[in-house]
Copies of this chain bind each other. A is one copy, B any other.
Amino acid sequence: MQPVMSVSDIEAFLESDFPQIHTDGRVFEMVEVTSGAIVMSLAPNERHLRPGGTVSGPTMFTLADVAAYVAVLAHIGPVALAVTTNLTINFLKKPEPEKLFCRAKILKLGKRLAVVEATIFQADEEEPVAHAVATYSIPPR
Protein backbone atom coordinates (compact mmCIF):
# COMPACT_ATOMS: atom_id res chain seq x y z
CA MET A 1 0.00 0.00 0.00
CA GLN A 2 1.85 3.08 -1.24
CA PRO A 3 1.27 6.59 0.22
CA VAL A 4 0.38 9.36 -2.25
CA MET A 5 1.37 12.26 0.05
CA SER A 6 4.73 13.07 1.64
CA VAL A 7 5.34 14.49 5.11
CA SER A 8 5.51 18.01 3.64
CA ASP A 9 2.40 17.46 1.46
CA ILE A 10 0.52 16.48 4.63
CA GLU A 11 1.89 19.41 6.65
CA ALA A 12 0.83 21.81 3.90
CA PHE A 13 -2.64 20.25 3.71
CA LEU A 14 -3.19 20.39 7.48
CA GLU A 15 -1.98 24.01 7.46
CA SER A 16 -4.48 25.06 4.79
CA ASP A 17 -7.48 22.80 5.36
CA PHE A 18 -7.28 21.72 9.00
CA PRO A 19 -6.04 24.79 10.97
CA GLN A 20 -8.16 23.85 14.00
CA ILE A 21 -5.57 21.24 15.00
CA HIS A 22 -3.36 24.25 15.85
CA THR A 23 -5.97 25.80 18.19
CA ASP A 24 -3.88 24.83 21.21
CA GLY A 25 -0.63 25.91 19.58
CA ARG A 26 1.55 23.97 17.18
CA VAL A 27 1.59 20.77 19.21
CA PHE A 28 1.22 18.27 16.36
CA GLU A 29 4.15 17.28 14.19
CA MET A 30 4.44 14.81 11.32
CA VAL A 31 7.28 12.35 11.93
CA GLU A 32 7.12 9.94 8.99
CA VAL A 33 5.02 8.43 6.24
CA THR A 34 5.63 4.81 5.33
CA SER A 35 3.82 2.16 3.31
CA GLY A 36 0.40 1.84 4.98
CA ALA A 37 1.25 3.90 8.04
CA ILE A 38 2.24 7.30 9.41
CA VAL A 39 3.75 8.56 12.67
CA MET A 40 2.75 11.85 14.28
CA SER A 41 3.74 13.40 17.60
CA LEU A 42 1.98 15.69 20.05
CA ALA A 43 3.98 17.88 22.44
CA PRO A 44 1.52 18.52 25.30
CA ASN A 45 1.18 22.00 26.76
CA GLU A 46 -0.54 23.08 29.99
CA ARG A 47 -4.01 22.46 28.67
CA HIS A 48 -3.23 18.85 27.76
CA LEU A 49 -1.85 18.00 31.19
CA ARG A 50 -3.69 16.76 34.26
CA PRO A 51 -3.05 17.06 37.99
CA GLY A 52 -0.59 14.35 39.00
CA GLY A 53 1.48 15.09 35.93
CA THR A 54 -0.09 13.10 33.15
CA VAL A 55 -1.71 13.75 29.76
CA SER A 56 -5.51 13.92 29.52
CA GLY A 57 -7.64 11.24 27.89
CA PRO A 58 -9.19 13.68 25.38
CA THR A 59 -5.66 14.65 24.27
CA MET A 60 -4.87 10.99 23.52
CA PHE A 61 -8.23 10.55 21.76
CA THR A 62 -7.47 13.61 19.62
CA LEU A 63 -3.97 12.40 18.71
CA ALA A 64 -5.27 8.93 17.78
CA ASP A 65 -8.11 10.38 15.67
CA VAL A 66 -5.93 12.96 13.88
CA ALA A 67 -3.14 10.44 13.19
CA ALA A 68 -5.56 7.79 11.90
CA TYR A 69 -7.30 10.38 9.71
CA VAL A 70 -3.93 11.51 8.34
CA ALA A 71 -2.94 7.89 7.61
CA VAL A 72 -6.04 7.51 5.41
CA LEU A 73 -5.45 10.89 3.77
CA ALA A 74 -1.81 10.02 3.04
CA HIS A 75 -2.99 6.98 1.06
CA ILE A 76 -6.10 8.31 -0.76
CA GLY A 77 -4.97 11.91 -1.23
CA PRO A 78 -6.25 15.22 0.15
CA VAL A 79 -9.33 15.31 -2.07
CA ALA A 80 -11.55 12.82 -0.30
CA LEU A 81 -13.06 13.91 2.96
CA ALA A 82 -13.13 10.98 5.35
CA VAL A 83 -15.35 11.12 8.44
CA THR A 84 -14.74 9.23 11.69
CA THR A 85 -17.68 6.89 12.27
CA ASN A 86 -16.35 4.77 15.13
CA LEU A 87 -13.37 4.83 17.49
CA THR A 88 -12.46 2.43 20.29
CA ILE A 89 -9.67 3.50 22.60
CA ASN A 90 -7.98 1.53 25.40
CA PHE A 91 -5.99 3.51 27.96
CA LEU A 92 -3.12 1.23 28.94
CA LYS A 93 -0.96 3.20 31.35
CA LYS A 94 -0.54 6.72 32.70
CA PRO A 95 1.58 8.68 30.22
CA GLU A 96 4.41 10.94 31.38
CA PRO A 97 3.73 14.67 30.87
CA GLU A 98 5.91 14.56 27.77
CA LYS A 99 5.73 14.22 24.01
CA LEU A 100 3.43 11.46 22.72
CA PHE A 101 4.00 9.58 19.48
CA CYS A 102 1.26 7.83 17.51
CA ARG A 103 1.80 5.23 14.82
CA ALA A 104 -1.36 4.96 12.71
CA LYS A 105 -1.42 1.79 10.59
CA ILE A 106 -4.08 1.11 7.97
CA LEU A 107 -5.80 -2.26 8.53
CA LYS A 108 -8.24 -1.83 5.65
CA LEU A 109 -8.58 0.75 2.91
CA GLY A 110 -11.79 0.00 1.06
CA LYS A 111 -13.91 2.04 -1.34
CA ARG A 112 -16.31 3.12 1.38
CA LEU A 113 -14.61 2.33 4.69
CA ALA A 114 -11.11 2.53 6.10
CA VAL A 115 -10.05 0.93 9.39
CA VAL A 116 -6.92 2.21 11.10
CA GLU A 117 -5.06 1.06 14.21
CA ALA A 118 -3.40 3.85 16.24
CA THR A 119 -0.80 3.04 18.90
CA ILE A 120 0.24 5.86 21.25
CA PHE A 121 3.60 5.53 22.94
CA GLN A 122 6.40 7.51 24.54
CA ALA A 123 9.86 6.06 25.23
CA ASP A 124 9.07 2.48 24.21
CA GLU A 125 6.73 1.60 21.33
CA GLU A 126 6.48 -1.92 22.81
CA GLU A 127 4.85 -0.49 25.95
CA PRO A 128 2.11 1.75 24.53
CA VAL A 129 0.19 4.18 26.76
CA ALA A 130 -2.97 3.90 24.65
CA HIS A 131 -4.28 1.95 21.68
CA ALA A 132 -7.16 2.85 19.38
CA VAL A 133 -8.93 1.43 16.35
CA ALA A 134 -10.95 3.84 14.22
CA THR A 135 -13.28 3.50 11.23
CA TYR A 136 -13.60 6.23 8.61
CA SER A 137 -16.38 6.56 6.07
CA ILE A 138 -14.96 7.55 2.68
CA PRO A 139 -17.33 9.53 0.44
CA PRO A 140 -17.85 8.30 -3.15
CA ARG A 141 -14.98 9.54 -5.38
Residues of chain A touching chain B, judged by Cβ–Cβ distance below 8 Å, are 20, 23, 36, 47, 50-51, 56-58, 61-62, 65, 83-93, 107-108, 112-113, 115, 117, 126, 128, 131, 133, 135, 137
Question: A87 CB to closest chain B CB, in angstroms?
Answer: 6
Interface of A is mostly: strand
Beyond the given pairs A85-B91, A92-B108, A92-B115, 6 more chain A to chain B contacts, judged by CB atoms under 8 angstroms and listed by A's residue number, are A20-B51, A58-B61, A61-B61, A85-B135, A108-B128, A131-B133
Q: Whole-angstrom distance between the alpha carbons of A93 and B20 in the complex? A: 20
* Sampled A-B contacts (18; CB under 8 Å): A57-B61, A58-B61, A61-B61, A61-B87, A84-B91, A87-B88, A87-B89, A90-B107, A90-B133, A90-B135, A92-B115, A93-B108, A107-B131, A113-B137, A115-B131, A117-B131, A131-B133, A133-B133
